[in-house]
Structures are given as structure tokens and as C-alpha cells.
Chains A and B, each alone.
Chain A
Amino acid sequence: MLKVLKPGLYLTIQDLGRYGHRDIGVPIAGAMDVESVKKANLLLENDENDAVLEITMTGPTLQFDTDTYISLSGAHIAATLNNEPIDNYTVIQVHKGDILSYGRLEKGFRGYLAVKGGFQSEKLLNSRSQFYPVTKSARLKDGDEVPYEETKSYEPKISEVKIEEHFENSTLKVYKGPEFSLLSDEQLTAIFTKTYHVSKENNRMAYQISELIAEHSHTMLTSGTLPGTIQLTPAGRMIILMKDGQTTGGYPRILQLSEASISILAQKKYGDELRFKLI
């Protein structure tokens, strides 16, 4: 078991998501920055869908009760193992009783902790991703324990992965959304020429954009939404749905983020700059 001594800001178990249930309103959930998760799992020769912990901004304090190997990826949050600094993208052996803790956030917003074989929490609707009410709770709290299997000795075969960190990249690539044609010239110019910022309202469900664009009065019948869908409210607020985002919505879907751009946005925090580029 991995014991959560302190959870930090927002700690969850995530795999690559829960598919096949959007017709009953169940969001995909899953890791926000899929690229980073795949790399962490690759280093441990795990399946890319094996469950990891998603760490948000301030890191947790975690204690291992069984020997295993871990790898870290995503945001740089000054991780230490028994107070010794450790790096992202390396395979690290841990022993029973070891304590993993985190310090200051240096780059990015969401970090990942992978363990050899993946975390073994209960699968519900074919996924381990935490999402209430599919899972009992939305996130991990003090004292929670997350199961994993013991690995006494393991010779890592992959010593290095190609790291393409996207923390410096603030350009989100977008496709036209189903209601793209409703945008006025004024709105189009604003979207593709101005620089925007991440609002305080940002979480696993959605990222709102601080700056408003011109208002509109279009109405539509509720229709399907996806992670990465950018909705435009009548007041001119852009809302980018993320992995826990609802499966339907009633605001015009003006743009759709590329999948790679969802990973980029997942590493942005309040106040970070964003630009939009049409594919």
C-alpha cells in the first residue's frame, strides 16, 4: 500500500480514462496530461493505461509499505525521497518505509507518480480513474491507502525517454467546433490575435479564460461535448472542457482543442498566458 500522509492540493488516481459510458452521462475522466503519464509508465515498462497518481500544484507526502520502483513525470515539484532530491523521468527504487515528498512548484501544474505494475485500486466501469459518483470519492485524502504490488528487484531496460516538455508552449492548437460558423468577424479576430490568460476557475472539469470576447445571443439545443471543447457563453466567456467535463452542454461549441493541446493546457495554472491557433 501507498499511504497518503498529506494529499497536497488535489491528489487523484488516474489511468487514461473511462470509455464507453458517455451515453449515460459519464465523463471520460483520466489523466489530464496524457503525454506525461505515458512516459512515466513507459519507463517502468508498464501498460500505458496503468493507473498513476495525479498531483496538482502542491505535492503530497506519501509513504511506501512495500518495495517497488517508481518514476515521476509532468510538473517539476522538487520531489525528494527520504529528503534526497530525485528527478523526473528516471526509474527509482523505493523500499518499505520510504517517504516521497514534494517542495516548491518549479514548472508546470500537474505531476505524475507511476509505480511498477500500476496502482491497483478498484476498477469501476472498466477504469480506475477517480470520478465521483463512479468512485466513492473524487480524490485522495489524509490516511487513504492505494494498493500496488511488490517488486523486489527489477532491471530497468529503458534508461531514457524522449522528453518533450511543453511547459514553455502557450499556443493551443484548435479545430473548428460544431458552432464555429456562429462566430462574428470581431470574435474571430479577437480569438486568434489576442493573448489570453487562465482564470482562477480552472480544474479537472474545465478551464475558464479570464478575458471576455464579444457577447452573443445564439441559443441551441443541448448537445454532446468532449474534453477540449471550447464553449462560448452569451456573456462572451470561453470555457474549455477538460477530462471531468460534462458530456453534454448548451453553449455554442466554437472550437475543439487538439489532443496534444489538452496536455499542454493541463500544465497551465491561474494567470498563465494562452494563444489559439487554428489547425
Chain B
Amino acid sequence: MKSYPISIKPYGERAVLVEWPKEVSESILADILDFMDAFKELKTPGWEMSVAYNTLTMVYNQDHIDFEDTKNMILECHEKQAKSKTERIQHLWTLPVCYDLEFGMDLEEASKVLGLSPEALIEQHTSYQYVVYGIGFLPGFMYLGGLPSHLEIPRRAEPRLKVPKGSVGLASKQTGIYPQDSPGGWNIIGNCPVDLFDPKKEDPCFVKVGDKIQFERISKAEYKLHKIEGEVGIYEPEKVVLNA
């Protein structure tokens, strides 16, 4: 796979922003992840890296940095990365969603706007695989790409003060899950009973950037069961390994 051109900008005293071409694309994301793997191979501890779409924010927690030195180190690493590809394990996660109207308070309204029946909307929403392009905004909140254009619907005119934890929403080009109660303006069509962020776990967020998500329709009874399984810590989300 080819490498893309990158640009590097200073970002305060101890961070830089590395930018790839400004588009949402799986091959750009793969290039960013390759770069991160290559950078980790350099074994320079203290760097924290976070991806969002076409950018990588790199923060050095230990000290202030020299921008030019850092820039050169990054460019050198980016140049070398193509030669030393590492195998990356990525997963496709199947996340259960209950689309019952008790949870999906905007399902009927959103269906009308999209010109679909609620059944057809659910069928469409569950038939695509969405790419995780970043995690941010709230702990465990995934920025998902790959929503088909016929499911694009504007945000609600009035945001809600409290969208319940687990709510699955649609808003313009995005779909996603609120990992905690939060104010928000997305159109809520269902609820996912799985904890996407659990600070008590060694790995508080099982989904990684580059993974894919597919939603699976479940009944209210299954929803309750998964909730209980989650509370007692025996729920394991379904996953398959994707070829990186």
C-alpha cells in the first residue's frame, strides 16, 4: 500500500498534529495506523497518540519538545514505515441494538424524514459495516464512517439535555452510540446494552480505531438479558478477526 504525504504542525509546548490528506478513507486510516505501529517500534516512551479521521495528535507527556527535532523524527519514521510493515489485528464487532420505540424515541420521525418504513430503516442500519475512525468526544465514543447516504438525516433542531447511555443515533454522515448519559442532538433510533467504556477493566474500551462495527437487531428480552450479563461481567461482545 502506498504512503500518503503528511504535514506536521506544532501544537503547544509538548504536542504536534500530523495531518494526512483531508478525506475520510479507509486507506488513509490504514496509513495512519501503519505509522503508529512504526512509531511504537522506535520505542520512544512517553508519547501518547490519538487518531481522528485524517489526523494524529501526538503528545509527549514527559517534557516540552523541540518542534524541528520532533518533526524530523516523525518524517523519518513515516518514510521507513512502508518497508517494515507489521501485522495488525483488527476486529469486526457485532453490537446488539434494541430498536424498540421505548429506546428509539426518534425512530418513527427519522423514518418519515428518510422516506422509509421503520422496519426498512432498521434493516438498512444493520446491514452495513461501519469503520471506527476515532474515539473521542466522550470516553468510549466512536466516530463511525460508512453510513450510506440514504440514511443521512440532519441533527435535531433542539438538542436533548439528556440522551440516555447506550442510545444509538443518526446525524448527517454519522451513526454511533452514546457511551454515557449526555446532552446531544442526534436522532435516537435504538439502544445498545453493551458498556463501551468501563474504567474498572484493564482495557476500558474494547473497540480500537480501525476496527469495524455492525449492528444486530435484538428483542427487548434479549436486551434485558445482555444488560444483566453486562452487570455481572459475563457478557462478551461477538467479534471476528479482519484481515489487516
Which positions in A face B, CB cutoff 8 Å? 19-26, 124-125, 132-135, 175-178, 220-224, 226, 228-229, 246-248, 253, 256-259
Contacts and interface: CB of A to CB of B under 8 A. Distances in A.
B190 interface: no
Contacts of A178: 9, 11, 17, 19
A23 B132 CA distance: 12
B244 to A, nearest CB: 18
Interface string B38-81: 00000000001111111111010100000000000000000000
A199 B152 CA distance: 35
Q: State the majority secondary structure of interface residues on B.
A: loop
A224 B135 CA distance: 10
A24 B57 contact: no
Interface of B: 9-13, 15, 17, 19, 22, 24, 48-57, 59, 61, 134-141, 143, 180, 197, 199-200, 204-205, 209
A226 B12 contact: yes
B136 A20 contact: no
Contacts of B53: 221-223
Contact of A248 (B10, B15, B134, B204): B134
B136 A248 contact: yes
A25 B140 contact: yes
Given A24-B204, A125-B199, 15 more contacts: A19-B48, A22-B50, A22-B136, A23-B135, A24-B139, A26-B139, A124-B199, A133-B139, A178-B11, A221-B22, A223-B52, A224-B17, A224-B52, A224-B56, A247-B50
Contacts of A26: 139, 204
A169 B53 CA distance: 38
| Top 8 A-B residue pairs of the complex, sorted by shortest distance between their CB atoms | A224-B57, A248-B136, A24-B205, A256-B12, A221-B53, A23-B50, A223-B55, A247-B136
Given A133-B180, A134-B199, A246 B137 contact: yes
Given A25-B138, A125-B199, A222 B143 contact: yes
B139 A175 contact: no
A20 to B, nearest CB: 6
Instruction: Tell me what chain A mostly uses at the interface: helix, strand, loop, or mixed.
Output: loop
Contacts of A246: 136-138
Contacts of A24: 135, 139-140, 197, 204-205
A17 to B, nearest CB: 9
B204 A125 contact: yes
Nearest to A222: B52
A226 B48 CA distance: 12
Contacts of B61: 19-20
Given A133-B180, A222-B134, A258 B13 contact: yes
Contacts of B140: 24-25
A221 B135 CA distance: 13
Contacts of A256: 11-12
A223 B199 contact: no
Contacts of A228: 12
Nearest to A223: B55
Contacts of A247: 50, 136-137
Nearest to B54: A221
A253 B10 CA distance: 12
A204 B233 CA distance: 32
A176 B55 CA distance: 17
23 contacts: A20-B48, A22-B48, A23-B51, A23-B135, A24-B135, A24-B197, A25-B135, A25-B137, A25-B197, A135-B199, A177-B11, A178-B11, A221-B52, A221-B54, A222-B52, A224-B52, A224-B56, A224-B136, A247-B136, A248-B136, A257-B12, A258-B12, A258-B13
Contacts of A259: 12-13
A21 B11 contact: no
Contacts of B59: 22, 226
B48 A248 contact: no
B56 to A, nearest CB: 8
B10 A175 contact: yes
Contacts of B57: 22, 223-224, 226
Nearest to B62: A19
Nearest to B204: A24
